[in-house]
Structure 1
Amino acid sequence: MPHGTLRAWVVGVVHVVQHPLVQAELTGLRCRSCPGPEFRQRLRRIAALMVPAVTADFETKVISCETPLEVTSGVEMTRRVILTPILRAGLGFLDGFFDLLPDAAIAHIGLARNEETLQPEPYYLKTPPTLADSEVIVIDPMLATGGSAVEAVKRLVELGATRLRYACLVASPEGIATFEDAWPEVPIFTAAIDRGLNDRGYILPGLGDAGDRLFGTA
């Protein structure tokens, strides 16, 4: 891949965004000494830098545009965009996407693990009424075991979403495999594929618990 491009290289349905600015910000995030305010700002910048790759194939339509000198043609996106952060860590990834997609609607999905079944279950779900006609981007910093991502997409599909993609900061091979097995048609966009999971389900080398580092709850 040419050095410095904003496009992603692709492994299966996984698009890895390896722009040098993204990778430099990610390195700063990984550092255990990165303070909370800096962590939040770096995460926001990475999210914004990933937006062009995540949205590169969105459909557009030609429209008329009147400049101060003459009428010309331009484009606008064909469909509305709905950003869907998985609570709570997904909120930290939301602002960077929102910076570049200010007209996007926001859906929220909160998932908690059932301690008996060990499966993620939604405790909060609120979406705009236009899921079926929109481009839906599910966002969460970490794709670890893949359970929450799979469940989030399942709930959105049940509500009518048909055009989905998943964007994260760091993914594990195990999480990618779980997600691809459940939703092979939904592309994944990530800044890094890390080595794997430890026995507690944390990504290695990873960056720790993104939610705790975002919100100071470690």
Structure 2
Amino acid sequence: MRISIVDHPLAQARLTLMRDERSENAAFRAAASDLGTMLIYEASRDLPLEHFPTQTPVAVADGARLKQPPIIVPIIRAGLSMIEPALSMIPDAQVGFIGMARNEETHEPVPYLEALPEDLSGQPVFIVDPMLATGGSLLHSIQLLVDRGATDITAVCMVSAQPGVDALANSGLPVKLVTAVIDPGLDDNSYIVPGLGDAGDRMYGPRNIDL
């Protein structure tokens, strides 16, 4: 599995703001938006282009556009925060959705929503989720994409834990990973250490419904 760690100074500065427990919801969301944009930029590096002549005010230049924009698939709810950064970089991308909750007793993912095209054959897919902890939610979601024919999948995660990265690498699924950092481990509640806490809660406030 190919792993790209975006260690650009500006990316690391935004990550630090997200890690800081003093950052309130608004500051956290702003830093996450900036970091998400940087990660999508890197994830798009190998997307194929098509070329065409473009008339400038002076002469004809070689123009370029994405040959096939990816479909952006956030894992709800924290992944919703990465839609706007992704669409700001790739405005003609389509968006699908996968809903996944965490059982707080077993720490296992509980799926509750799947809104995806029936056939993803030949379609680049960016699956976005701020946190890769155990890898359970991401692996389940990637399998849904593979079951629909996807073979070109990039997981874009702001913070990853080594156990989740290992699970992804050992899964045999066709996926690449783009992340800002790989943290060493998880605590007893399967939260990333040092991590940044619950990304969904820090973006939107504590959950007020049970899923």
Q: TM-score, normalised by structure 2?
A: 0.91
Aligned to 1:6: none
Quote the offset at 1:118 in angstroms: 6.2
Aligned to 1:3: none
Note closer, same or farther for the CA distance 1:35–1:115 as it changes in structure 2 (3 Å cut): closer
Residue type of the partner of 2:109?
Answer: P
* Pairing of 1:63-212 with structure 2 (within 5 A): 63-113=52-102, 119-128=108-117, 131-183=120-172, 185-212=174-201
Note closer, same or farther for the CA distance 1:117–1:191 as it changes in structure 2 (3 Å cut): closer
Aligned-pair identity in percent equals 37
Residue type of the partner of 2:152?
Answer: R
Moved over 4 A (4+): 113-119
Work out the number of aligned pairs and report it: 207
SS at 2:190 equivalent: coil
Say if 2:33 is the partner of 1:44: yes
CA distance in 1, matches of 2:79, 2:5: 19
Q: TM-score, normalised by structure 1?
A: 0.88
Note closer, same or farther for the CA distance 1:19–1:118 as it changes in structure 2 (3 Å cut): closer
Note closer, same or farther for the CA distance 1:187–1:199 as it changes in structure 2 (3 Å cut): same
Q: Is the 8 A contact 2:143 2:173 kept in 1?
A: no
Quote the offset at 1:116 in angstroms: 9.6
CA distance in 2, matches of 1:143, 1:115: 16
Q: Which moved more, 1:37-46 or 1:113-122?
A: 113-122
Any idea what the Cα deviations from partners look like across 1:104-126, whole Å, max 9, x if unmatched?
11010002356898643421111
CA distance in 2, matches of 1:193, 1:116: 25
Note closer, same or farther for the CA distance 1:28–1:195 as it changes in structure 2 (3 Å cut): same
| Structure 1 gaps, min length 5 | 1-11
Residue type of the partner of 1:75?
Answer: A
CA distance in 2, matches of 1:206, 1:170: 7
Aligned to 2:7: 18
Quote the offset at 1:202 in angstroms: 0.3
Quote the offset at 1:71 in angstroms: 3.1
Match for 2:23 among 34, 52, 62?
A: 34
